[in-house]
Amino acid sequence: MAVAEQQTLVSTPASGSRVPTVIVDDVHIVYTVYGAGTGRGTATAALYRLLSRKGSPNVRRVHAVRGVSFTAYRGEAIGIIGSNGSGKSTILRAIAGLLPTESGKIYTDGQPSLLGVNAALMNDLTGATNVLLGGLAMGMSQEEVRHRFKGIVDFSGINEKGDFISLPMRTYSSGMAARLRFSIAAAKNHDVLMIDEALATGDRAFQRRSEERIRELRKEAGTVFLVSHNNNSIRDTCDRAIWLEKGELLMDGPADDVIKAYEAHSGK
Ligand SMILES: Nc1ncnc2c1ncn2[C@@H]1O[C@H](COP(=O)(O)OP(=O)(O)OP(=O)(O)O)[C@@H](O)[C@H]1O
């Protein structure tokens, strides 16, 4: 794989002008899948090929993002919408520097944090130890994590029904794990914070707290990207939305307008 085309943005804004935090310039992203079938024939034929182990392993390319360009500015919360497989997670992973681009360039101001990846949570360790590790992984000092510990646990709501924070993460439901991950990540101010469907797993009370925190993070001058299939979540937290479909950018504009067009398209 080629080296990721993510570059640091050196911004020297004139006073009063908007400060760009992420520039995505005509980006194409292609996954290479090794050992894939050719896609021809029936499922039975594919199973036969698999069992007979004949032929060389096939390589297939999935062109997930096609010529996408946009600029994000400080203080914006941008919703990324589109149907399943339209390239939303892929573009976020590329902005985080986790995927190389096939062509095009991504410039970022600081290190973007992709929620769920930067907070390196470990299943066999307790929630409490994960709060410490996650905080350290995000660059906080031990003192800072200790100072924020209670706030993080309270925000997550993990201890609402008993002392769960001292149990290993593997005993948590997927919703509880997602809430703790969000709470750790949201404890720090980020230049660019990207949240991929994290809000979908929490209950309504947690979603409200998270949306409030996203609004605060925006005020603290960061840029927030939110990938979600919940259009109301996007409407409540984002002023701008980007609509991807089959890897292409179909629309970029005020969240209300873009969601309206998307809903009309998807018949919701
Ligand atoms: N690791 C991978 N290897 C190969 N192809 C992949 C990989 N991850 C995603 N893809 C493909 O890239 C395309 C875009 O996927 P992506 O996960 O970015 O979509 P998405 O819009 O986030 O979807 P969803 O709403 O279902 O989460 C899809 O065709 C998918 O099959």
Other Cβ atoms less than 10 A from the Cβ of 90: the count is 22
pLDDT of residue 4: 44
How far apart are the CA of 219 and the centre of ligand 1, in A?
Answer: 31
Q: Examine residue 31 and state whether it is found in any structural domain, yes or no.
A: yes
Cα(134) to ligand 1 centroid in Å equals: 26
Residue 1: count other Cβ atoms within 10 Å of its Cβ: 7
166 part of a folded domain: no
Asked if residue 59 has its Cβ within 6 Å of ligand 1, the reply is: no
d(Cα 179, Cα 213) in Å, to the nearest integer? 13
Residue 197 belongs to some domain of the structure: yes
33 lines ligand 1 (CB under 6 A): yes
Q: What CATH number corresponds to the domain at position 207?
A: 3.40.50.300
What is the per-residue pLDDT for 68? 98
Residue 141 lies in a domain: no
Residues of the chain with pLDDT under 70: 1-16, 36-41, 45-46, 49-50, 52-57, 116-120, 198-202, 221, 268
> Is 100 in contact with 5 (CB distance < 8 Å)?
yes
Residue 250 lies in a domain: yes
pLDDT of residue 2: 37
Are β-strands 59-73 and 20-34 bridged in parallel, bridged antiparallel, or unpaired? antiparallel
Domain with 13, as residue range(s), is: 6-112+190-266
CA 214/CA 225 separation, integer angstroms: 10
Cα dist from 256 to 70, 82, 192, 235, 236, whole Å = 18, 14, 22, 6, 10
Least Cα distance to 154 among 183, 189, 182, 175 occurs for 183
Q: How far is the CA of 90 from the centre of ligand 1 (A)?
A: 6
184 is a domain residue: no
pLDDT value at residue 250: 97
- Report how far ligand 1's centroid is from the alpha carbon of 62 (Å): 9
**Does any domain span residue 239?**
yes
Length of the chain: 268
d(CA 159, CA 249): 41
Q: State phi, psi for 250 to the nearest 5 degrees.
A: -90, -35
For 119-147, write each residue's pLDDT tens digit.
Answer: 567 889 999 999 998 888 888 899 999 99
Domain count, the chain: 1
- Which pLDDT belongs to residue 3? 36
Ligand 1 in reach of 31 Cβ (< 6 A): yes
> Is 129 inside a domain boundary?
no
Q: What is the pLDDT of residues 201-214, one digit of tens each?
A: 667 788 788 888 88
